[in-house]
Structure 1
Amino acid sequence: MLDTPPSSAVPHPLPRPLILGSTSRYRRELLQRLRLPFEVLSPQVDETPAAGEAPADLAVRLALAKARAVAAQSPDAVVIGSDQVADLAGEPIGKPGDHARAVTQLRRMSGRAVVFQTAVAVVCRAIGFEQVQRVPVTVRFRTLDDAEIEHYLRAEQPYDCAGSAKSEGLGIALLSAIESDDPTALIGLPLIKTCELLRAAGVPLLGAGAGS
């Protein structure tokens, strides 16, 4: 599957193919902001946490595992892998998958701070490049009543989102604060860190030979 930049963009040639190792539509839409041609491949990685694994460590391990898995299939490409784990007092909170689990998650997070651990990795086997960065985002939830939770979930159905809320949509009404130095990290891909890693891997972001 090949993603091309919007028609208004003028794509510049890349030294190597660029691949997003993720099937997340949110990450794909974020990466499109950089106006680079890229391919999307599924990394086929087991995302089961290891016993006692901290959410931050899990996010880093899975981001790197996803990038490595796709890079093994396409060794000449620059591959991006990313993962996000919601951290509630040290407990990983995943995607709810259905309404009932989402209700449970939001009730537990009501009035509390949740750290969304988002990690991004870039791997290119051909040049021996492999780096990973983690971006924590602290999200403070308002004290929510059941009517608010029900209204929100019926309206947005965020069952494919860790933590059961979409900050880029109506989910912002559930929150009292977001604290991060990389604003797109909460949506699923920290673009500031992604750009940093791509430049380090030799990918020109603002024209051939562009610097920082």
Structure 2
Amino acid sequence: MHDTPNPAAPKRPAEPQAPRPLILGSTSRYRRELLQRLRLPFEVYAPDVDETPLPGERPADLAQRLALAKAQAVARQHPEAIVIGSDQVADLEGDSIGKPGDHERAVAQLRRMSGKTVVFQTAVAVVCAASGFARQDLAAVRVQFRELSDAEIENYLRTEQPYDCAGSAKSEGLGISLLAAIDSDDPTALIGLPLIRTSQLLRLAGLDALATPTGASA
């Protein structure tokens, strides 16, 4: 004799699904430090992406293309993860200003930007290959540089050595003294990762920093 299932019997609640792993597709220590503010556990992988601008490519388009390419490159290797990619390009009158890499280029960049408004185009992309999610956003930060003397430029660069920063200035450090004004609706965008937009994209992808009160950064 077989037991007849009781249709009125309460169903067992479904087991809660574990959140997808989070990966930052970047080797930037600035982006890593910023993402830690969300207190989500994450890993870091370097994206293998050619960052050469395309002929005639506008700074905003370059930043968005590279942010998405970085996220997609890492997502191909980790399809179950939610992957963040980001890129920043300084836009000086339509010209793309990247990382100087050395002292001489940094001097040349700051001389060009002296007394001018530079728009730092900071793009972020969030991709999950398994779910098919792929979204991106762009934060444009308008930065007004003071009129800078050669002595000020030299003293600043020798002190802070911001050769790995687009535009040769760290606004979170002594570089703030180079500036007259900053206009942004996403304050951390100038440092390298717009956390307001990043949080929005992560929620859309199914990962909410406030859903796990005990979350801790990697």
Query: TM-score, normalised to structure 1's length?
Result: 0.91
CA RMSD of aligned residues (A): 1.2
Match of 2:106 among 102, 109, 126: 102
**Aligned letter for 1:99?**
H
Q: 2:199·2:208 contact (CA, 8 Å) conserved in 1? A: no
1:1-212 equivalences under 5 Å are 15-208=19-212
| Aligned residue identity for 2:92 | L
Could you say which residue in structure 1 is the equivalent of 2:14? none
User: Which deviations, in whole Å up to 9, do the C-alpha atoms of 1:105-160 show, x marking residues without a partner?
Assistant: 00000000000000000000111100000000000000000010011000000000
- Cα pair distance change 1:194/1:14, threshold 3 Å: farther
Q: Secondary structure at the match of 1:52?
A: coil
In structure 2, do the counterparts of structure 1 residues 83 and 14 end up closer, same or farther at CA, with 3 Å as the change threshold? farther
Contact 1:19 1:41 in 2 (8 A): yes
Q: Distance in 2 between matches of 1:175 and 1:163?
A: 12
Deviation at 1:39, TM superposition (A): 0.4
Task: Specify the code of the residue in structure 1 equivalent to 2:128.
Answer: C
Contact 1:60 1:132 in 2 (8 A): yes
Distance 1:171 1:208 in 2: 36
The alpha carbon displacement at 1:207 in A equals 1.8
Deviations 1:54-76 (A, max 9, x none): 00000000000000000000000
- In the alignment, the residues of structure 2 paired with residue 84 and residue 14 of structure 1 have an alpha-carbon distance, to the nearest angstrom, of 32
Residues matched between the structures, number = 197
Change in 2 beyond 3 A, CA 1:193/1:74: same
| 2:3 paired residue number | none
- TM value normalised by structure 2: 0.89
Distance 1:63 1:30 in 2: 16
Given that 1:14 and 1:203 are in contact with CA atoms closer than 8 Å, whether structure 2 keeps it comes out as no
- Kept in 2, the 8 Å contact 1:122–1:197? The answer is yes
| Percentage identity across paired residues of the two chains | 75
Question: One-letter code of the match for 2:119?
Answer: V
Deviations 1:176-199 (A, max 9, x none): 000000000000000000000000
**After TM superposition, where is structure 1 displaced by more than 3 Å over at least 4 residues in a row?**
none
Runs of at least 5 residues in structure 2 that lack an aligned partner in the other structure: 1-16, 214-218
